Amino acid sequence: MNAPRLKFRKLDIKNGRIDLSHGSGGRAMAQLISEIFKEAFANDLLAQGNDQAVFEIPAGRMAMTTDGYVVSPLFFPGGNIGSLAVHGTVNDLAMSGAKPMHLSASFILEEGFPLSDLQRIARSMGNAAREAGVKIVTGDTKVVERGKADGVFISTAGIGIVPDGINLSGENAKPGDAILVSGTLGDHGVAIMSSRENLEFETQIVSDSAALHGLTAAMVEACGPQLRLMRDPTRGGLAATLNEIASQSGVGIRIEEDALPIRPQVAAACELLGLDPLYVANEGKLVVFVAASAAEKLLTVMRSHPLGQDAAIIGHVVADDHRFVQMETSFGGGRIVDWLSGEQLPRIC
Amino acid sequence: MKYVDEYRNGKLARAIAKTIAAEARPDHDYRFMEFCGGHTHAIARYGLEDLLPKNVRMIHGPGCPVCVLPIGRMDDAIKLAQNPDITLCTYADLMRVPGSNGMSLTKAKAAGADIRMVYSTLDALRIAQEEPQRKVVFFAIGFETTTPPTAMAILTAQKLGLQNFFVFCNHVLTPAAIQNILESPDVRELGRIRIDGFIGPAHVSTVIGTRPYEFFAEEFQKPVVVAGFEPLDVMQAILMLVRQVNAGRCEVENEFIRAVTPEGNLKAQDLVSLVFELRDSFEWRGLGQVPYSALKLREEFAAFDAEKIFSVTTVPAKDNPACECGAILRGVKKPVDCKLFGTLCTPETPMGSCMVSSEGSCAAHYTYGRFRDAKVPEKVAS
């Protein structure tokens, strides 16, 4: 007689939910990793099944970054926490001029989280990684009791290769430099807010979440030596990014309100909620500081890339010991564009 | 953005600015008070100061409900929120306001208090309906604009038979505060400040109309222009005030004819007087006790009155003695005249009321205008 063969029933992804056994290090965890993550991320390094990925690296310098994702709601117009976790980390690498290479992904899952949602998220991550030309080569899964997390939290880290001769840093801005953005501001933040349950306003605005490495590669190739720095204005929006750079480089920044690309729908939503688009998050946009002489050329290069069609020159760097970021309003007056204090909260009247 | 961009047209603004500069008499210093924090915010955000001639100066008034809420009442709200049976529903801008001992709703929430940020009274009503086991207290603050929705919420709760919905009422009145400023010794006897006229808030007047201001115009001989919150509205209102001063007129004029009428919204007024009545006196942060300046729930609605149900007894609390908010709210001092401004007192760590809300004059100046204080000294020719 044949010995009975051990046969596992496949995960019931349609109706199943995460339970504590999925994080216990036992068979259930192995099955979860294999049927959801390995399937979605599919690559040779992950398939080896080791606790670490071992790979060859080219000579030169590397960039490394890490980021945590706790977005609520998990699914929003234009993406979900999974695609965001890939795009955000790829972009942080790309802002150094690096070519992103490998990512890691760590998941904190809440007991009771639907497996179907987890699969959707994992597949979005896999797709986003393939589109960005990176591999998710190692990962980790933990499960916490119900109520101890908000569905799923994801941490990703990444490494990339920095081309020779490229040295971008927040301290490089010099008086006279031109400042450009790659497109419309505030789309991600407004898309997220419109889908939060206590707001419920209808809009066509989708998140701009996208991997920017292709755009940055084109920019580096065209204007590499003239580029001072790039940064993606995520949380805190353009205002936070400009203040960071003014403070790092010890310079002042002057921008023009009329030059800022902002979609009318985003402007209207911000108006309604009492928000300022300058402080609203972006996930597929970058700010670049460049020597003034190369500004027009860079603008042309950016505009010819699909993710830079709405690029614009928005201002310039000045010498200013106070390190103020100032804006000339469309109205004709001047104002400071300050750091955000606290959370950006709607006003009552 | 239709119906918004039209009122932010820079070209028109510069044209009005030119007219103001041409009509303002060079031998006179024009000092106008914009009562409302919304106007203060608009003036700072759009940089209107840069467009006005030097002899036309705006004095920022006390019309920010968050700023004038006394610390004692903030302490009451925090205490209510710390009651484990209570869910406190609040507008978001009250979250960071410091009470006594550096406590705030944000900190109370972090320590476990059930505090929910809501966008309207309807959200609070919904929570009360969905969670009947919770005692839901709505932290009601604001001028005449936010009072009718609170009245409506109480009437709706009554209709629905909700027994777990309560209102902690801190609604205050615009005309009473203006009168208080005009009658203050600074203005009347000491002559420490001169106010040539007032810009009144349009949203308040959509409810109360323009009539309530006629008394000041006559009694105190001060022109009033009720104006909208877009920067062009404010510029136009300043021009109208300059013209009144030049002609020696003291009238109530309406710049916001697109929504304000002399009578206002009678239905809303009826609703408010059905549910609320005047308090004999109420403390305003910066102004002190102001008679007949605030509302409380009528006896018929006592079952919804958080003050009565949870026996709130306000203990007055003092501001930092170095804080100049009182004088700033009355227009006697400017933010930069305060030693704490920009040093100990910033939007991250507000000490006084004017720094707390983005509409407070200190916060508006710090956030948008402080570059004007920091002019780089002219280089001395060698």
Cβ within 8 Å, pair A346-B92: yes
Question: Residue B378 has what pLDDT?
Answer: 40
Contact in structure between A130 and A70 (CB atoms under 8 Å) = no
Buried b (16+ CB within 10 A) or exposed e, B146-181: bbbbbbbbbeebeeeebebbbbbbbbbbbbbbbbbb
Question: Residue A280 has what pLDDT?
Answer: 92
d(CA B358, CA B37): 8
Instruction: Please tell me which residue, A193 or B335, carries the higher pLDDT value.
Output: B335
Cβ within 8 Å, pair A341-B51: no
Q: Is residue B130 part of a domain?
A: yes
Question: Residue B377 has what pLDDT?
Answer: 43
Q: Looking at the structure, do residues A27 and A147 belong to the same domain, yes or no?
A: yes
Q: Looking at the structure, do residues A196 and A322 belong to the same domain, yes or no?
A: yes
Question: Residue A8 has what pLDDT?
Answer: 65
Would strands B224-227 and B197-201 be described as parallel, antiparallel, or unpaired?
Answer: parallel
Q: Is residue A150 part of a domain?
A: yes
Q: What domain range is B278 assigned to?
A: 1-176+194-319
Cβ within 8 Å, pair B46-A329: yes
Record the pTM.
0.85
Instruction: Assign residue A152 the CATH number of its domain.
Output: 3.30.1330.10
What total number of domains does chain B contain?
A: 1
Greatest mean pLDDT among A9-23, B140-154, B323-337: B140-154
Please name the member of A332, A341, A345 whose beta carbon is closest to the beta carbon of B92: A345
* pLDDT, tens digit (0-9, with 9 covering 90-100), for A319-348: 999 999 999 988 888 899 998 876 655 555
* pLDDT, tens digit (0-9, with 9 covering 90-100), for B235-290: 999 999 999 999 999 999 999 999 999 999 999 999 999 999 999 999 998 888 99
Instruction: Assign residue B159 the CATH number of its domain.
Output: 3.40.50.11740
Which helix H or strand E contains B362, and what residues bound it? helix B361-364
Q: Looking at the structure, do residues A126 and A204 belong to the same domain, yes or no?
A: no
Cβ within 8 Å, pair A264-B44: no
Mean pLDDT of B58-75: 89
* pLDDT, tens digit (0-9, with 9 covering 90-100), for A81-95: 999 999 999 999 999
CA angle (A117, A13, A141) in 5-degree steps: 65
d(CA B222, CA B231): 23
Question: Residue B328 has what pLDDT?
Answer: 87
**B380 contacts: CB under 8 Å, gap ≥ 6:** none
Which helix H or strand E contains B88, and what residues bound it? strand B86-90
The DSSP secondary structure of A204-246, one letter per residue, reads ---------HHHHHHHHHHHGGGEEEEE---TTHHHHHHHHHH
Question: Nearest-CA neighbor of A205 among A136, A281, A96, A100?
Answer: A281
Instruction: Assign residue A330 the CATH number of its domain.
Output: 3.90.650.10
Question: Residue B381 has what pLDDT?
Answer: 38
Q: Provide, as residue numbers in chain B, all residues whose Cβ is less than 8 Å from the Cβ of A349.
A: 38, 65, 142-143, 145-146, 203
Question: Residue B317 has what pLDDT?
Answer: 87
Q: Is residue B362 part of a domain?
A: no
Question: Residue A343 has what pLDDT?
Answer: 62
Question: Residue A26 has what pLDDT?
Answer: 86
What is the ipTM score, two decimals? Answer: 0.79
Cβ within 8 Å, pair B10-A326: no
Q: Provide, as residue numbers in chain B, all residues whose Cβ is less than 8 Å from the Cβ of A347.
A: 93, 357-359
Q: How many CB pairs under 8 A join A and B?
A: 96
DSSP structure class, residue B262:
S
Q: What domain range is A266 assigned to?
A: 178-336
Q: Is residue B255 part of a domain?
A: yes
Residue A349 pLDDT greater than 50, yes or no: no
d(CA B288, CA A305): 61
* pLDDT, tens digit (0-9, with 9 covering 90-100), for A48-101: 888 899 999 888 899 999 999 999 889 998 999 999 999 999 999 999 999 999
Question: Nearest-CA neighbor of B195 among B103, B301, B61, B334?
Answer: B61
Question: Residue A10 has what pLDDT?
Answer: 85
**Closest CA of chain A from B25, distance in Å:** 23
Contact in structure between B334 and B10 (CB atoms under 8 Å) = no
Q: Is residue B182 part of a domain?
A: no
Residues belonging to chain A with any Cβ–Cβ distance to chain B shorter than 8 Å: 198-199, 264, 267-268, 271, 320-322, 324, 326, 329-336, 338, 341-342, 345-349
What total number of domains does chain A contain?
A: 2
Q: Looking at the structure, do residues A146 and A24 belong to the same domain, yes or no?
A: yes
Please name the member of A332, A336, A348 whose beta carbon is closest to the beta carbon of B368: A336
Buried b (16+ CB within 10 A) or exposed e, A186-225: bbbbbbbbbbeeeeeeebebebbbbbbbbbbbbbbebbbe
pLDDT band at A124 (very low <50, low <70, confident <90, very high): very high
* pLDDT, tens digit (0-9, with 9 covering 90-100), for B78-133: 999 999 999 999 988 888 888 888 899 999 999 999 999 998 899 999 999 999 99
Q: Is residue A172 part of a domain?
A: no
Contact in structure between A297 and A222 (CB atoms under 8 Å) = yes
**Closest CA of chain B from A15, distance in Å:** 27
Token pair in block for residue B168: 């902690």
* pLDDT, tens digit (0-9, with 9 covering 90-100), for A240-295: 999 999 999 999 999 999 999 999 999 988 888 878 899 999 999 999 999 999 99
Please name the member of A320, A333, A349 whose beta carbon is closest to the beta carbon of B143: A349
Residue A126 pLDDT greater than 90, yes or no: yes
Three-class SS of residue B244? helix
Q: Provide, as residue numbers in chain B, all residues whose Cβ is less than 8 Å from the Cβ of A271.
A: 1, 4
Q: Looking at the structure, do residues A109 and A213 belong to the same domain, yes or no?
A: no
Q: Looking at the structure, do residues A189 and A300 belong to the same domain, yes or no?
A: yes
Residue A40 pLDDT greater than 60, yes or no: yes
Contact in structure between A77 and A187 (CB atoms under 8 Å) = no
Cβ within 8 Å, pair A333-B370: no
Q: Provide, as residue numbers in chain B, all residues whose Cβ is less than 8 Å from the Cβ of A277.
A: none
Find residue B297's DSSP bridge partners. B276
Instruction: Please tell me which residue, B376 or A301, carries the higher pLDDT value.
Output: A301
Contact in structure between A178 and A120 (CB atoms under 8 Å) = no
